[in-house]
Structure 1
């Protein structure tokens, strides 16, 4: 199995504001009109997360499709607009009820963890990703909305948002 450092070098990954490491691999030439903006039809990234560097809670205005590639199981933690909490684990171990891919619906607040080592995935956003449509959350913000989910909020929300 490759190391984190090997993947970062080979794929030319950079730190992502939500955590982990990424590189955009695809950006559609076609555009989609949404809320007065023209977004690429889709975007795609490689995304590498580690046990020490998870994806912190954030929300997008588009659907995000996650595709598992390598490493250890990765768990996507979702706080739905209706107030529920859901976990979906991605890995090659489909016999353990893990999934090879998962779609996070637009408007869902979500983050991801890896318990051991790392996980390498691809993430496709449709319509395409725009940092203007990306919102990170603090523990205080989420605790007011989802007080019953404090344990996962403490694990995946920032105390103070990064600059």
Structure 2
């Protein structure tokens, strides 16, 4: 069987993610004491698979309260756009070509606007994992509103338009 995005979605039992792409939670630290956060009690860590495909190539701008470590696995490279609270934009490419500057790991602190997009390549998919601490919880995530983000970061309006929904 050829490795393609449909095979990965099936093999890894992934489902559509609200920000785009596909995911499945693979771990939560439920054998550890919960930690108190502004959003309530959370596990100390959780982990997911996250897949972008040619059919769903964009992870829309969103903000998480928790820190996230991203780990590149396979497929085409994925470009991350990070907007910091002061408006600084950082672009990072995760992929296997480390000699060309692609990263195998990426840390995104909580409170940073983040979007991702699949770069053109030969496989039509990009697979990563994310470790989130404290655990990922949908209540701790804010989806980017195009109008609001463009008003807050007018210097990135074009990018925001590409990586948000209406």
Bin the TM-score by the shorter chain: over 0.9
Separation in structure 1 between the aligned mates of residue 35 and residue 3 of structure 2, nearest angstrom: 37
Instruction: Name which of 132, 143, 148 aligns with 2:150.
Output: 143
Please state how far the C-alpha of 1:139 moved relative to its aligned partner.
1.3
Alpha-carbon distance, 1:52 to partner: 4.1
Q: TM-score, normalised by structure 1?
A: 0.94
Please, which of 125, 130, 140 is the counterpart of residue 133 of structure 1?
140
**1:153 and 1:4, CA in 2 relative to 1: closer, same or farther beyond 3 A?**
same
Equivalent residue for 2:52, pick from 49, 54, 57: 49
For 1:20, the equivalent position in structure 2 comes to 21
Find out whether 1:74 has 2:81 as its counterpart: no
Structure 2: segments with no counterpart, 5+ residues: none
Contact residue 51 and residue 115 of structure 1 kept, 8 A: no
The whole-number CA distance in structure 1 between the counterparts of 2:87 and 2:12 is 37
Deviations 1:93-115 (A, max 9, x none): 00001110101110000010012
Query: Which segments of structure 1 move beyond 4 Å, counting only runs of 4 or more?
Result: none
Give the 3 Å change call, closer, same or farther, for CA 96–141 of structure 1 in structure 2: same
Counterparts of 1:66-105 in structure 2 under 5 Å? 66-105=70-109
Change in Cα spacing, 1:41 to 1:155, as seen in structure 2 (3 Å) is same
For these two proteins, the number of residue pairs brought into alignment is: 159
Checking the alignment, whether the CA contact within 8 Å between 2:39 and 2:140 is kept in structure 1 is: no
Does the 8 Å CA contact 1:50/1:113 hold for their aligned counterparts? Answer: no
Segments of 5+ residues of structure 1 without an aligned counterpart are none
TM-score (norm 2): 0.92
